[in-house]
Amino acid sequence: MSGWKVLLTDGLEEKGKAILAQSAEVVDRTGISADELLQIVGEYDAVIVRGRTKVIPAVFDAASRLKVVGRAGVGVDNIDLNAARAHNVIVVNSPLATTIAVAEVTMALMLSVVREVARADATMKAGKWIKKELEGAELHAKTLGVIGFGRIGAAVGQRAAAFGMKIIGYDPLIPADEIQRRGAKPVTMDELLAEADIITMHIPLTADSKNMLNADAFAKMKQGVYLVCAARGGVIDEEALLAALESGKVAGAGLDVFATEPPGLTALVSHPRVVCTPHIGAQTVEAQERAAVDISSEVLAGLRGDALRWRVA
């Protein structure tokens, strides 16, 4: 045994724990509070988190032994990367594990919104039969605008193409020929907003992407556009989206992520033309197992000083 200690703050599937236990002492403190984390983090060489735990500068200040922080998933906006670099702590994630799960939940939200599945179910359970009111739209022949054409965006594009949709994609970090190779027509952001019947977002939350879809962006969209987001809360200006729903500019929205989580029963969450899910994009048995295996292997590689596949800081 190496003598390394690894702290789990948000749980981890058993396959991941087994990989870690071969080389380190593993301590599972799922649900640990921010104050408790500060008190004990100095005992650990590595910490593995999901989206709940905030690894803020104070955590790095208190973590005298810390060498690696692992994020079991894609987004690392809950980890202060600048503080990690300042303390020479490696940050890794598991970006491949959740691609299929997030792509599939995106399609589920898309279909639920355009066919009013949630409303149909709720009224049936209330003993009502409102068939004539539930005239939805088809995905076939519609233009899907994908903002962010990385792994997940491309996977959504593949699935949407199987429904007969036309796929257009915007991604400032991916060359146009690569977007085209992945199955979409490359367009500018303004072109996407103007042409898309349905828009889906697959981008991280950064200073540049915060409130990317704001009032100005909604003004450029088609009347009656649909919007889906299973990326990160904060990339949509929620007040602007609510106003667009009220005006009819946006015909419906499917949201898995929110600027504040949990958001509570806000006007947006309770809106009749919004389908909401509680950030379940990665919540499949298969995705969680892949994430656990990938992040456990990557964290141990970081501790050993081996080459890393998914270093983000």
- Tell me what pLDDT residue 134 has: 96
**Bridge-partner residues for 275, per DSSP?**
254
| R_g (Cα) of the chain, nearest Å | 21
Cβ atoms of residues 156 and 146 within 8 Å: yes
Surface-to-core class of residue 77, CB atoms within 10 Å of its CB (0-12 exposed, 13-18 middle, 19+ buried): middle
232 is catalytic: yes
Cβ atoms of residues 223 and 194 within 8 Å: no
Cβ atoms of residues 25 and 45 within 8 Å: no
**Residue 210 to residues 116, 172, 261: CA-CA distances in angstroms?**
29, 15, 16
pLDDT over threshold 70, residue 78: yes
261 is catalytic: yes
- pLDDT tens track for 183-217: 999 999 999 999 999 999 999 999 999 999 999 99
pTM of full prediction above 0.85: yes
279 is catalytic: yes
User: Do 4-97+285-304 and 99-276 share a fold?
Assistant: yes
- State which CATH number among 3.90.1070.10, 3.40.50.720, 3.30.1180.20, 3.40.190.10 fits the domain covering 99-276: 3.40.50.720
Domain map of the chain by residue range? 4-97+285-304, 99-276
Cβ atoms of residues 97 and 294 within 8 Å: yes
- pLDDT tens track for 223-232: 999 999 999 9
> Of the listed 71, 151, 279, 290, which one is catalytic?
279
Token duo for residue 149: 């054409």
3-state secondary structure of 164: coil
> Of the listed 232, 271, 290, 298, which one is catalytic?
232
- pLDDT tens track for 136-174: 999 999 999 999 999 999 999 999 999 999 999 999 999
- Tell me what pLDDT residue 1 has: 60
Nearest-5° Cα angle at 187, 184 to 192: 95
CA–CA separation, 46 and 303 (whole Å): 8
CB neighbour list of residue 169: distance below 8 Å, 6 or more residues apart:
145, 146, 147, 149, 153, 157, 179, 182, 184, 185, 186, 187, 192
- Which CATH architecture describes the domain 4-97+285-304? 3-Layer(aba) Sandwich (3.40)
